[in-house]
């Protein structure tokens, strides 16, 4: 049982995969139930509402990034403290970070509601698309505090050596979303609002269930205790998790930039095609992200314990796993492009053909994407927020922005998809340089 594997153990391939598999499943399932929203809206409501969701979604994800930051950065700090043999202090840090997450969630909800319509206009929405963006966005933003809790607990359940509990809660949240999507959108015909309510209710399940679990269970490696505010730890968490914050904010901003460029090149069809390809990307990237989240507490623990041989073991095995899985994903994505496109936009032949072509070009990015995702997560786990943030900023912002400015100007629509692969290749070179440069310092 993965839940019986302790962070302090030696990890061979079998044990490592067993431990991270619930985290991978958790992220994959999260991506799947996010995809279901788009699937129902595209097929039951229409391509304009579908394009509206894809236009406003990066903004909504940007607001929820604080949960990812506290989860990734905080779990690294807490796991390192556990590795140093200070469990009670780790519990105080854990409790403080959950409280801080709730407070920040409430503040971001208020800010998001006030600025949503103006932000949607800046993204290029008008008319019916603007109304759809605002309707969907307001409902999702109302659930932001529980969405942030869901994000933060994904990391802390792994640190608490309860990865299967995290997977179970994610599956429950996903099934809630899928069932309510069918009920609200397909049966009651509530349109884009129905899809938003389905997502909001599922996020409530994903955020509140682990909160109750930690309140009730007293035998976890982590538990709620009386705590105070530890400014140094809080800011260390923010700095250490800044790469995850940067990844999500940059990815969201770049998605907005891509959508804006696509509106110029192909209108609503371009945004819809990009949306389909991003759903496939979310699914595959979830495997890499899930692995990185699952492996991070192990890396942090052994770093805190000063166990350099195990760090080297984890590093080498992780690179092999990323390479093999990325190659398989690229091949599957290329071969299955037609079938995947038809599921979402089979009702429009031109849009479907545009999506298939883009997906097959985009597939090359998956070969190296895993290395880049893992590199940032690896340095976060080592409590090196600076290097992790640099890697994330280069990969998800600088190189992607350059790609979207350069390649579409040369290759038009094809340049959108070529640019993504080119940016991942350049990011791989940056990651390799940091891996080599920091090797002696950490002993991996």
Mean pLDDT per segment of 10 residues, for the chain of length 444 residues?
73 94 85 76 86 83 86 92 95 98 96 94 87 96 96 92 90 92 95 94 96 92 95 92 76 79 81 83 88 94 94 96 95 93 85 92 94 94 90 90 91 90 95 95 91
Inter-CA distances, 225 with 152, 297, 394, Å: 17, 21, 39
**Share of the chain residues as helix, strand and coil, in percent rounded to the nearest 5:** 90, 0, 10
| pLDDT at residue 6, rounded to an integer | 87
What pLDDT, on a 0 to 100 scale, did the predictor assign at position 65? 83
Could you tell me the two tokens for 207? 């955020």
Closest by CA position to 40, among listed 188, 167, 142, 171? 188
Q: Where are the alpha helices (DSSP H) in 191-241?
A: 191-216, 231-240
- Identify the pLDDT of residue 139: 97
pLDDT reported for residue 181: 94
The reported pLDDT for the residue numbered 369 is 95
Nearest of 437, 428, 438, 409 to residue 370 by alpha carbon: 428
> Among 54, 353, 82, which residue's Cα sits nearest to residue 195?
54
pTM (2 d.p.): 0.75
Q: Are 336 and 399 in contact (CB under 8 A)?
A: no
Burial 95-109 (b: 16+ CB within 10 A, else e): bbbbebbeebbeebb
Number of domains in the chain: 1
CB-neighbour burial class of residue 420 (10 A; exposed 0-12, middle 13-18, buried 19+): buried
pLDDT the model gives residue 163: 87
Please answer whether residues 206 and 170 qualify as being in contact, where contact means their C-beta atoms are separated by less than 8 angstroms: yes
Instruction: Please tell me the predicted confidence (pLDDT) of residue 81.
Output: 96
A 10 A CB-CB count for 220 gives 19
Classified as helix, coil or strand, 285 is: helix
What pLDDT is recorded for position 34? 67
Measured in whole angstroms, the distance separating CA 141 from the mean position of its chain's CA atoms is: 17
pLDDT score, position 1: 40
Angle at the Cα of 303 from the Cα atoms of 301 and 306, rounded to 5 degrees: 110
Distance CA 112, CA 144 (A): 9
Contacts of 107 (CB under 8 A, 6+ apart): none
What range defines the domain where residue 247 resides?
2-442
């Amino acid at each position: 049982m993965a839940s019986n594997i302790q962070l302090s153990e030696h990890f061979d391939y079998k044990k490592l995969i067993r431990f991270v598999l619930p985290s991978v499943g958790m992220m994959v399932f999260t991506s799947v139930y996010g995809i279901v929203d788009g699937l129902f809206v595209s097929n039951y409501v229409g391509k304009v509402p579908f394009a509206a969701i894809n236009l406003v979604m990066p903004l909504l994800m940007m607001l929820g990034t604080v949960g990812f930051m506290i989860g990734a950065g905080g779990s690294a700090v807490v796991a390192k403290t556990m590795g140093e043999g200070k469990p009670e202090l780790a519990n105080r840090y854990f409790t403080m970070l959950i409280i801080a997450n709730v407070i920040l969630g409430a503040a971001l909800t208020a800010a998001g509601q006030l600025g949503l319509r103006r932000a949607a206009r800046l993204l290029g929405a008008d008319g019916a698309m603007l109304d759809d963006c605002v309707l969907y966005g307001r409902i999702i933003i109302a659930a932001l505090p529980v969405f942030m809790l869901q994000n933060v607990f994904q990391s802390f359940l792994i640190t608490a050596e309860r990865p299967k509990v995290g997977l179970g809660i994610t599956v429950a949240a996903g099934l809630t979303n899928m069932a309510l999507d069918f009920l609200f959108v397909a049966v009651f015909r509530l349109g884009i609002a129905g899809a938003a309510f389905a997502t909001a209710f599922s996020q409530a399940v994903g955020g509140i269930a682990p909160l109750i679990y930690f309140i009730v269970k007293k035998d976890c490696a982590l538990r709620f205790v009386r705590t105070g505010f530890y400014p140094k730890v809080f800011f260390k968490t923010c700095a250490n998790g800044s790469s995850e914050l940067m990844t999500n904010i940059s990815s969201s901003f770049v998605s907005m930039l891509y959508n804006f460029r696509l509106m110029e090149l192909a209108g609503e069809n371009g945004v819809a095609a990009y949306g389909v390809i991003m759903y496939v990307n979310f699914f595959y990237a979830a495997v890499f992200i899930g692995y990185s989240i699952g492996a991070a507490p192990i890396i942090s623990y052994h770093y805190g314990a000063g166990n350099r041989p195990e760090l080297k073991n984890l590093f080498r095995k992780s690179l092999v796993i990323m390479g093999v899985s990325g190659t398989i994903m690229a091949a599957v994505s290329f071969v299955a492009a037609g079938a995947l496109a038809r599921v979402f936009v089979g009702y429009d032949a031109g849009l479907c053909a545009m999506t298939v072509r883009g997906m097959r070009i985009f597939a090359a990015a998956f070969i190296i994407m895993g290395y880049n995702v893992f590199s940032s997560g690896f340095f976060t786990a080592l409590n090196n927020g600076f290097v992790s943030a640099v890697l994330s900023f280069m990969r998800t912002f600088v190189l992607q922005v350059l790609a979207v400015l350069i390649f579409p100007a040369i290759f038009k629509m094809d340049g959108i998809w070529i640019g993504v692969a080119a940016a991942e290749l350049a990011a791989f070179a940056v990651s390799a340089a940091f891996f080599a440069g920091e090797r002696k310092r950490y002993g991996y």
